[in-house]
Each structure stands twice: as structure tokens, then as C-alpha cells.
Structure 1
Amino acid sequence: MRMTIQANGFEMTEALRAYTEQRLASALGWAREHMHKLAVSLSDINGPRGGVDKRCKIQVQLGGGREVIIEDTEADLYAAIDRAADRADRAVVRQVERTRDFARERIPAQLDNMGSAAFGEVQERADDIPPRVR
């Protein structure tokens, strides 16, 4: 898995880079085998004017061409990273579970026919039961 972190509108400090890597590793570390690429974009929308304008955008490339994109905007960049990491974790969990739901094995035709034959026998026995008396 490749992880890229880039900053737009401000200079990336080593502490911010380390925090971002650590936070994403704790949130998405379990999914390393499912991820092909992880890209994080940190930006300051308003620049020096201030306000609720620190954005963290996380893009996770999963197998099968699926992609999870999460954006969060906060006044504090560290809070934006935390929220985006938590949301990305939940979104990746959902995507992986969907993949697992479709990966179930199909029942062989012989067993399927036996099951429907047994259902037919139960239905025939049910027809022999007299109707309820009112």
C-alpha cells in the first residue's frame, strides 16, 4: 500500500506529517491487505484569514476499482484529520463487508435439488392435514 500526504496552502511540518501517518495507521491499519493506495490532502481553504477552513481529504483505493473518498472541514486541522480518519475507517469497513457478502460460495446443484425435493415432501404432508374446525 502506498500512502501519500500533501499540503495545500501551508507548509507541512514534520510533526503534522507524523501525526497524520500515525492516525491513519491506527484507523486503517487493519485494512492494509484491501487497500492499494491511500492519499491524504490537507488544505487551508481561507489562508491567513482564519475561520472553519482546515480541510482533510482522504482517498482510499480498494480492490476491484472501488474507492472511498472522505472530506472533513474543521477550525483545527488535527480535529479534521481525526474525524476524517474515523469516517474513512467506517466507510472502508462497509465496502469490505459488501465484498464479503458477494463472495459466498454457491450451493452445488445436487444439494440444491435435494433441498427442493425435501420441501416438496413436506408440502405433500401438509396437504394431508385436515382443515381446522371452526
Structure 2
Amino acid sequence: MRIDLQCDGVKATPGLHDYVSRRMRGAIGRFRDHIQWARVKVADGDGADKRCVVQLRLRNLPDVVFAIKQLDVRAAVDAAAERVSRVLAQRLRRQQKPGRGASAPVAALPA
């Protein structure tokens, strides 16, 4: 599975790339069969905030996209890794439940 890192206003050091890759692989590793690719963008936010935007392309499910703001880039990546793990677990659990949201079949009434 490919994890792309994009940096906007944040220095893209090899250490940051390794950190993001390690944290995201740890968070989504058990779901890797359901993910086509992952994109992580770290950027300067408003003021001193840093943003971490995560986009995951899933197989047979809608994409997962969200943003986290923190004071530090690594803190934003950590929070995003925790959230992505929870979101994927919820989505896949919902997908596995048969008949979720469907009403019970209606029996035909005699004429």
C-alpha cells in the first residue's frame, strides 16, 4: 500500500517522512487489504497551528477524508493516526453487518 506525503509550508525532511509513514502504517496496517492508497498532507495552518489532512481510497467503500489541527506537526500526525484507525474500524464493522438499514421483508397478504 502506498502512502504519499505532501508538505505545504512544512519542511519535508526524511525524518518527517519516516515518522508519518511509520505512524500511518501502524494505524492502518490491519486494514491494508481494504485500502488502495493513502495520502497525508501536513501544512501550516492558521497562526501557529499545523494541519494534517488524511485521505484514504478504500475498496468498495467511500473515501475517508478528514483534517486535524494541532500546535505541532507530529502531534497532528499522531492524532490523525489515532482517528484513522477508529474510523476504519467503524466503517468496516458497519459494512460487515448484514441488512443494516434495511427493513424486514414484507409477507404477501392473501387476496
TM-score, structure 2 normalization: 0.83
More strand by share: 2
Deviations 1:65-105 (A, max 9, x none): 411112100111111000011001100111111111138xx
Aligned to 1:62: 58
Residue 78 (structure 2) pairs with residue 82 (structure 1): yes
Q: Which amino acid aligns with 1:94?
A: Q
Aligned residues with identical type, % of pairs: 31
- Which residue pairs with 1:4 in the alignment? 4
Residues in 2 aligned to 1:65 and 1:27: alpha-carbon distance in whole angstroms: 18
CA contact (8 A) 2:45 2:69 kept: no
Q: Which has the higher helix share?
A: 1
May I ask how many residue pairs the two structures share in their alignment?
100
Q: String of CA shifts for 1:51-70, please: whole Å, max 9, x gaps.
A: 2x100011111111411112
Aligned residues of 1:72 and 1:83 also touching (Cα < 8 A): yes
The gaps in structure 2 that reach 5 residues or longer are 100-111
Alignment TM-score, normalising by the size of structure 1: 0.69
Residue of structure 1 equivalent to 2:67: 71
- The match for 2:13 is 13
Q: Which residue of 1 aligns with 2:22?
A: 22
Query: For 2:60, what is the secondary structure of its paired residue?
Result: helix
Q: Residue 99 in 1 paired to residue 95 in 2?
A: yes
Gaps of 5+ in 1: 104-134
Contact 2:39 2:56 (8 Å CA) reproduced: yes
Q: Which amino acid letter does the alignment assign opposite residue 87 of structure 1? A: R
